[in-house]
Amino acid sequence: MKIRVLPDNLANQIAAGEVVERPASVVKELVENSIDARATRVEIDIELGGRRLMRVSDDGSGMVREDAILAFERHATSKISTLEDLAAIGTLGFRGEALASIASVAKVELTTRMADSDAATRVLVEGGRLVDVKDAGRAPGTTIAVRDLFYNTPARRKFMRSEPTENYHLTGIVTHYALAHPEIAFTLTSNGREVLRVSPAKDLRERAFQIFGPGLLDSLLPVSGGRDFIAKVTGFISAPRERRTTRDAQYFFVNQRFVKDKTIAGGLLEGYRSVLPHGVYPVAFLFIDVPLEEIDVNVHPAKTEVRFRRTEAVKDAIAEAIRNALAEGGIAVRAEEREQERQIAATAGSEMSQPPVQQPMSFHVSDDAAKVADVSALRRPAETFAPASSDDRGPSPFEQFDDASNFASDFEQRANERADDSNEVSSIESFQNLIQTTIDLPPVNSAERYVRSAEVTDVSSSKIRPIAQLHDSFIIAVDDEGMLLIDQHVAHERILFDKFRKSETEREIESQNLLLPETIDLTPAQSQAFELIEDDLASLGFGVMHLSGRTIAIKSIPTDLPPGEARNLFAEILDHIELDKRGGAKQTLRDDIAASLACKAAVKINMKLTPEKMQWLIDRLLVTSSPTTCPHGRPVILRLTMKDIERGFHRT
C-alpha cells in the first residue's frame, strides 16, 4: 500500500466530519464569524431544520473580493498569523477551517461588501468547488447561505435527526450567542416563522428578560466572584425553587465563547451542593473569564471544549462564587432563620409555665415593590422585541399575572405617589415601616373561635383590598365587613381550575410555544399513561410530539404554566394518572388533570407576592364559580368580621 497526500477537498470533507456535526454546528460557525466581524445585527434564517437552508446575515466588516474567495481555503483565516497568536486567542474563530469544511459538504453562497466598497461580491462554492464569482448588490456586511447540507455525503445525511430535533439544537445555539452578546441584535426564523427576536440590550439581565420573560428573571440571582488570575465568574443562577431535570438551561461561556465543559458544570453543582437535591439542576448563565494564557481553546475543531491549565482551581473558584451568590440571595440565610424559629418554638414549649404560646408572630411584608420597578423598567424595551411567536402563542406565559401587565408600572406609580403622601395611613409604605422588623408579641388571646371560613354571599360583592402577606403564604385583606385571610395557593388553584375546565368545554385553548421544546424520555409506565390522556392534554393546551420510541417533546403548554415547570409538571401528571386514575371514567379523569394542572401551576405557599399580584388574585378569585372553596373542598378565605373583632375586644 502506498501513502498518498489526500486531495484538499477530501481533507476538507474529513475535517467537516469534526466541524460540522449537525446543522447547528454550521450556524454556530457562521454566527461566530459574524461576531468576530463586529456585527451589531445578526439574522439567522432556517428552513427544514437546516437541511434545506441556513442563512446568516450580518452588518459586520465584510470582505474584499480576494478575501471572499480565500475564505473558503483550508487554514485561511484573518485572525491569527503567528504561533504566538495561537497562545492568546481573543476571537471566536482562528483555525480557518470552518468555511472550508462547510463548503465541502454543502452548496454555499457568500455575499459580502465592505463599507467602503462600491459593490458586493457573490461567491458560489459547491462541494468544495468554486463555481462562480460575480458582483452583487448588498449593504455593507456579509450573508452566507448554506444549502443542501451533506448533499454530497449521503452517509452523513442519514445521521441528521428529525427537523424538530435539529431545530432544538439550532435554537439552543442562537440562544447561547444571544446571551453571550446582549449588545448584538439577533433574529432567528424557521420556515419563515420568527422564533426569536431580540434588540440590543444593555446587559445580560435585560437580554435574559428578552429571551426568557419575567418569570425566570424573578428567580435569578446575580453571580460575581471568582479569583484573580484564575477565573472571574459572573452571570446569573436560579434560586433553588427553579428546578430542571436536565442541564439544558445551563449556558456556559469561557471568554465569551460558548463551551460545554465538565469543569464548569462541576463547579456549579458543587456550589449548589447543600441546597439542591440530587438529579435536579439549576438554571445558569455563567461567564468565566480566564487569562488567555491560562486556557487552551484549540482542543477540538468545533471549539466547544477548552482546557484549563489549573482545572481544580477554576472549579473551586466557580463553586465559591456560586455559594456566595446563593448566600447573598438569602438562600443560605433562610435556612438559618428556619433553624432559629424551630429552636425558639422548642424552648417556648418546654420552659414556660403558661400554656405554650403560639410562635412569635413574624410579619414579612412583601418587599417586591422594588423588583416590580426593576422589571417594568426592563419591560419597556422588550415589549417591541418579545419573541414574535407571542402572536401565535396568545397571551404571555405569565398571563396569570400579566393580564394587566400594565399594572406593574401603574402600581409603581401609585406606590410612588403614596410614598409622597405620607399622611395616607393605609399605604403599603407606611405599613411596611411599621412592621419592617420582626416584632415579638407577648401571648395574645387566640382569635380562632372568631375566625370562620367565609360564605360565598359574604364576599362576592364586597370590595376586597390586600394589605400584606403573612408568612409569604396568606394574604391579609380588608373589606367593609372586616378582615380576611386568603390562602394564596388555593385561591390561585380555584382560578386556574375554573379556567382549565372552561377551556375544555369551550375549546378555547390558549397555549404558548416553548422557546426550546422540552424533550422527555418517558418511563414505560408514563408512556402508557400518556397514550391514555394524550387527547385531553392536547385539549388543555399541551402540544406534544413523538420523537422516537418513548421520547417525546413538549412544544407548547397552557399559557398559565410557567415554562420552566413544563417538564416537571408533565411528569407529575403522568405519574399521578398512572398511579390511581387508569380505570376512572373519562370525565373524572379530565377533572383530575385539570385539578392537578391547577395545583401545579398555582402560586405556592411560601412565595412572596407583590401587592398587585395579590390584588389580581383577589379580583380573579371573586369571579370564579366558587370563590370560597378550592377544587379539593378546602376553604379559600377566612373571615374576621368587625363584629367578631369588637366582640373579641369586649366592645359589645
3-class state of residue 622 by DSSP: helix
When the beta carbons of 79 and 418 are compared against ligand ADP, the nearer one is 79
- Min dist CB 128 to ligand ADP, Å, is 13
Contact yes or no for 97/74 (Cβ under 8 A): yes
Could you say which of Mg ion, ligand ADP, none residue 63 binds, taking C-beta under 5 to 8 angstroms by partner kind?
Answer: ligand ADP
Binding flag, residue 543, Mg ion (CB under 5 A) = no
The Cα-based distances of 77 to 8, 25, 83, 111, 389 in angstroms read 16, 18, 13, 18, 37
Counted residue by residue, the chain has a size of 652
- Min dist CB 470 to ligand ADP, Å, is 57
Candidate list 33, 104, 389, 610; residue touching Mg ion; CB under 5 A? 33
When the beta carbons of 16 and 264 are compared against ligand ADP, the nearer one is 16
Rounded to a whole number of angstroms, the distance between the first and last alpha carbons of the chain is: 110
Binding flag, residue 60, Mg ion (CB under 5 A) = no
Could you say which of Mg ion, ligand ADP, none residue 71 binds, taking C-beta under 5 to 8 angstroms by partner kind?
Answer: ligand ADP
Quick count: other Cβ atoms within 10 Å of Cβ 197? 20
| Interatomic CA distance for residues 620 and 400, integer angstroms | 10
- Pairing state between β 482-487 and 474-479: antiparallel
- Min dist CB 313 to ligand ADP, Å, is 29
Sheet holding 120-126, edge to edge: 129-136, 120-126, 107-113, 141-147, 53-58, 41-47, 185-190, 193-198
Could you say which of Mg ion, ligand ADP, none residue 79 binds, taking C-beta under 5 to 8 angstroms by partner kind?
Answer: ligand ADP
- Residues with Cβ within 8 Å of residue 69, at least 6 apart in sequence: 123, 130, 133
| Interatomic CA distance for residues 11 and 595, integer angstroms | 60
When the beta carbons of 59 and 560 are compared against ligand ADP, the nearer one is 59
Could you say which of Mg ion, ligand ADP, none residue 554 binds, taking C-beta under 5 to 8 angstroms by partner kind?
Answer: none
- Min dist CB 80 to ligand ADP, Å, is 8
Binding flag, residue 93, Mg ion (CB under 5 A) = yes
When the beta carbons of 77 and 527 are compared against ligand ADP, the nearer one is 77
| Interatomic CA distance for residues 360 and 167, integer angstroms | 55
Contact yes or no for 281/244 (Cβ under 8 A): yes
Could you say which of Mg ion, ligand ADP, none residue 516 binds, taking C-beta under 5 to 8 angstroms by partner kind?
Answer: none
Amino acid 322 reads I
| Interatomic CA distance for residues 573 and 408, integer angstroms | 32
User: Where on the chain is the footprint of ligand ADP (CB under 6 A)?
Assistant: 29, 33-34, 37, 58, 60-63, 71, 76-79, 93-100, 142
**Which span sits near Mg ion by CB under 5 A: 32-40, 344-352, 431-439, 507-515?**
32-40
Number of residues that bind Mg ion (CB under 5 A): 3
When the beta carbons of 38 and 632 are compared against ligand ADP, the nearer one is 38
Quick count: other Cβ atoms within 10 Å of Cβ 343? 10
When the beta carbons of 63 and 557 are compared against ligand ADP, the nearer one is 63
**Which span sits near Mg ion by CB under 5 A: 26-34, 159-167, 424-432, 456-464?**
26-34
| Interatomic CA distance for residues 346 and 348, integer angstroms | 5
When the beta carbons of 33 and 263 are compared against Mg ion, the nearer one is 33
- Min dist CB 301 to Mg ion, Å, is 11
**Which span sits near Mg ion by CB under 5 A: 90-98, 186-194, 372-380, 564-572?**
90-98
- Min dist CB 409 to ligand ADP, Å, is 40
Contact yes or no for 232/253 (Cβ under 8 A): no
When the beta carbons of 33 and 526 are compared against ligand ADP, the nearer one is 33
- Min dist CB 16 to ligand ADP, Å, is 11
**Residue nearest to ligand ADP according to CB distances in the complex:** 93
Could you say which of Mg ion, ligand ADP, none residue 458 binds, taking C-beta under 5 to 8 angstroms by partner kind?
Answer: none
Amino acid 398 reads F
Grid cell listed for 372: 416590580
Could you say which of Mg ion, ligand ADP, none residue 301 binds, taking C-beta under 5 to 8 angstroms by partner kind?
Answer: none
When the beta carbons of 12 and 503 are compared against ligand ADP, the nearer one is 12
When the beta carbons of 90 and 443 are compared against Mg ion, the nearer one is 90
| Interatomic CA distance for residues 366 and 18, integer angstroms | 53
Rounded to a whole number of angstroms, the CA Rg of the chain reads: 29
Mind giving me the DSSP string for 114-167?
A: -TT-SSEEEEEEETTEEEEEEEE---SEEEEEEESTTTT-HHHHTT---HHHHH
Could you say which of ligand ADP, Mg ion, none residue 357 binds, taking C-beta under 5 to 8 angstroms by partner kind?
Answer: none
β strands within 248-392, DSSP E? 250-254, 257-259, 284-289, 295-296, 307-308
- Min dist CB 156 to ligand ADP, Å, is 19
The Cα-based distances of 548 to 32, 162, 520, 551 in angstroms read 32, 10, 11, 5
Binding flag, residue 98, Mg ion (CB under 5 A) = yes
When the beta carbons of 35 and 185 are compared against Mg ion, the nearer one is 35
When the beta carbons of 1 and 83 are compared against ligand ADP, the nearer one is 83
Contact yes or no for 234/289 (Cβ under 8 A): yes
- Min dist CB 95 to Mg ion, Å, is 7
**Which span sits near Mg ion by CB under 5 A: 91-99, 329-337, 358-366, 583-591?**
91-99
The candidate with the shortest Cα–Cα distance to 542, out of 567, 568, 511, 571, is: 511
Binding residues (CB under 5 A) for Mg ion: these are 33, 93, 98
